Amino acid sequence: MNIDILRNSLTTRILWNCAEANGFYKRFGKITPQVFIDLLLHCALHQAGYCSLSQMSNYLSWQLNIDVSKQAIDERFTDSAYKYVLSVVNYIAGQRMSSALDTSFLEAFSRVRIKDSTKFKLPCWLKDQYKGHGGFGDIQSGMCIQFEYDLKSNAIIGFSLTNETRNDFEESREEPQPILSNDLLIRDLGYWSINKFKQIKSAGAFFLSRLNTTVELFDLQGNRFELKTVYQKMKKYRLTHQQFIVRLGIKEQIVVRLCVSLASDEVYEKRITTLKKQNQRYKNATIRQETKDRYHLNLFVTNIPCQILDTPDILKAYHFRWQIELIFKQWKSIAGVASVTAVRAERFLCILYAKLILILINYRFMRVIQSFYYRTNQRLLSPYKCMQSLWLHFDIICDILKRKGWRNTTYIDSLVTRFSRNHYLENRKKHITFEDLFYYYLK
């Protein structure tokens, strides 16, 4: 397994470069850049990130043979300290590493880019660093993590930290990552933008998104496209899916494929129930029949030619977007990125960024090992189970990253062996799993 990039991610040279960029090295003393990161990673792993100053002092003394008082440690948590750790996060996130499972998977596309964001509240004293929406409880601080990865190679394409106030639509307009020919971008409604679809199309790339139900639809002759008629026809003739060529929007228009399937009665009832709850704040709010007709349908828009993916395949392909939701679930339930501890702002941010370092490193290790096992026995590992184990056994990864015993394969063998026991994906009844989709889209 090629993990040179992983091993180099926490070398002393890189940490010193990050430190010099922020002027933090002037305050190190006994606590060198490597020691400071080691200490923060220990805190990030410890009880959802909380670790007292006394526990930090004991860790340095017992594990690294460095005697530093808790007061001296507390003095290290400064404005330049958390900027230094953030620079390490950005460096690791910027490292490109591919570990494709199978080159024939969705081979019509060079990359399958899935992007979404996750948000969480922060203590109010962090409002100067990360501004929040406010609202109930006067919560003035919050963070948004924008994350994008390539489903084919498992490489991280984008990773950024912004204010909670920055929404996905703003991100879509100022997306920093270039769009390449034959890319497929799968997006949620938050990133919906007709202008963005035009940009993707002009770059020779493809998009797949749910339909924004507030956008007007027209046929190629300029007549309003009626979804009510579509629903009635599908219900009458028991059609499972249909596709149409339509124009989106009134002023800004683009021609797309509209792929339609019937929603189950259960899904329809959930949608109507949710809408009723949203309308409770408005007096005499009623649900229009047109809205009810739309809620009977699953609606997707794309510019992928039907010769590449027909309508049933388009409907299945959108399920890939749910993988990023599972990744965010790992970050919150396993890494505890949303956990809040009542400590000084600088110390809180240092440990939060240390969690993100752990997440990024574990993500890469997990993908490398997942690729190794697929090529060995054609089975897929569960990312969630792997992340849980990596979080519990990060000491082994640290030994590899710091090149302790690197020539002794016992370290790697020990890590890999753990994943051969009860870490494979399991089939879920009545649910489309990633394993089902993966094998379906193999050549």
Q: What is the pLDDT of residues 146-192, one digit of tens each?
A: 999 999 988 899 999 999 888 888 888 777 789 999 999 999 998 98
What is the spatial distance between Cα 97 and Cα 116, in angstroms, rounded to a whole number? 20
Q: Which amino acid is at 98?
A: S
The residue among 399 and 242 whose pLDDT is bigger is 242
Domains held by the chain: number: 1
244 is a domain residue: no
Segment among 24-28, 138-142, 240-244, 397-401 with least mean pLDDT: 24-28
10 is a domain residue: yes
Note the pLDDT of residue 429. 64
Considering the chain, what is the average pLDDT of its residues? 83
Examine the pLDDT at 393 and tell me if it is beyond 60. Answer: yes
Q: How many CB atoms lie within 10 A of CB 56?
A: 21
What is the spatial distance between Cα 93 and Cα 89, in angstroms, rounded to a whole number? 6
317 is a domain residue: no
Note the pLDDT of residue 339. 82
Give the tokens for residue 266.
């259960």
364 is a domain residue: yes
46 is a domain residue: yes
85 is a domain residue: yes
Note the pLDDT of residue 9. 44
Among 110, 118, 111, 188, which residue's Cα sits nearest to residue 147?
118
Q: What is the pLDDT of residues 205-238, one digit of tens each?
A: 999 999 988 888 999 998 999 998 999 999 899 9
Confidence band for 1, pLDDT divided at 50, 70 and 90: very low
25-32 average pLDDT score: 64
9 is a domain residue: yes
351 is a domain residue: yes
Examine the pLDDT at 309 and tell me if it is beyond 90. Answer: yes
What is the spatial distance between Cα 342 and Cα 171, in angstroms, rounded to a whole number? 31
Examine the pLDDT at 69 and tell me if it is beyond 80. Answer: yes
Enclosing domain of residue 16: 4-94+342-418
The residue among 136 and 371 whose pLDDT is bigger is 371
Segment among 112-126, 161-175, 389-403, 428-442 with least mean pLDDT: 389-403
What is the spatial distance between Cα 334 and Cα 354, in angstroms, rounded to a whole number? 14
